[in-house]
Amino acid sequence: MATAVLANAAEVSVAVAANFAAPMQAIAQAFEQDTGHKAVLAFGSSGSFYAQITNGAPFQVLLAADATTPEQLEKAALAVPGSRFIYATGRLVLWSKQAAGVDANGAVLRAGSFRKLAVANPKLAPYGAAAYETLQSLGLLQSLQGRLVVGQNIGQAYQFVASGNAELGLLALSQVYAEGRLSQGSGWIVPAHLHRPITQAAVLLKAGRDQPAALALLAYLKGAKALSAMRAYGYEP
C-alpha cells in the first residue's frame, strides 16, 4: 500500500495567505504523511497573489485571506468554476510581544502609550482592511494615522512588532496563538463586530485542473485533521 501511495505521489503548488502560514505548514505535513502528495507552499498577501496569478504564475491552489480574490479569479477564467469554498474565518488580535503590553480590553489603543502600531496594507491584505475598520469603529483611525507602520502583508506587520520596530500590531490571531491560547506576549482578541467578517476562501486554479495532488489537497482541507489544526490556531473552520 505504501509503495502504491508513493508511486502516485505528486506535488501541488499552493499560494497561501500569510496569516494562514502556521496552520498550513502543519496541514501540509499531515497531508504528505496521509496521502504521499507534497504541498509546495508560498506565502504572501492575497492582493499580491492575485497580481501574480493574473500574470501567469503557475500556482495550482490559492488559499486566500478573503472571499473576494478567489471569486475575481473565477470570473477572470483563471480558476475552476465551482471549486471555490470558505475554508476558515479568521480573527484579528491587538498584540504586543511584551507580557503586559496589551490589557484585556484593548484600552492601550486609547491611552496612546505607544509610538507605533503595525498593520498590513489594507489594499492588499484583508487583515489590514479589518485593522483599519476596527480603528474606524473605535473612532481612533484619524488620531492614530501618524503612528501606523504598514506592512505589505500580515507577515511583515508581525515582523515589525516582533523586531521591536512597533510596540503593538493589529495582526492575525493565528500568528500568536497555538493550542487554544496566546503562545507569547499579550493580546486582545478584537470583537468580531468591529470589522467585517474575515472569511477566507480556497479555489482550484486553472493550472491545478485535473491535477491529483491539487484536488486531494482541497478535499483534505475539509477533513478532520485540517479542521483541528485550524481551531488550534484560533480559526473558526
Domains in the chain with CATH codes: 2-89+198-232 (3.40.190.10), 91-194 (3.40.190.10)
- What is the rounded distance in angstroms from the CA atom of residue 63 to the CA atom of residue 70? 8
Residues paired with residue 204 on neighbouring β-strands, in sequence order: 61
DSSP 116: -
pLDDT by residue, tens only, the chain of 237 residues: 444 445 478 999 999 998 999 999 999 999 999 999 999 999 998 999 999 999 999 999 999 999 999 999 999 999 999 999 999 999 999 999 999 999 999 999 999 899 999 999 999 888 999 999 999 999 999 999 999 999 998 999 999 999 999 999 999 999 999 888 898 899 999 999 999 999 999 999 999 999 999 999 999 999 999 999 999 999 987
Residue 88 identity: A
Show the beta-strand stretches assigned E in the chain. Answer: 11-17, 38-44, 61-63, 85-90, 92-96, 117-120, 148-151, 168-172, 177-178, 181-182, 186-189, 198-204
pTM listed for this prediction: 0.84
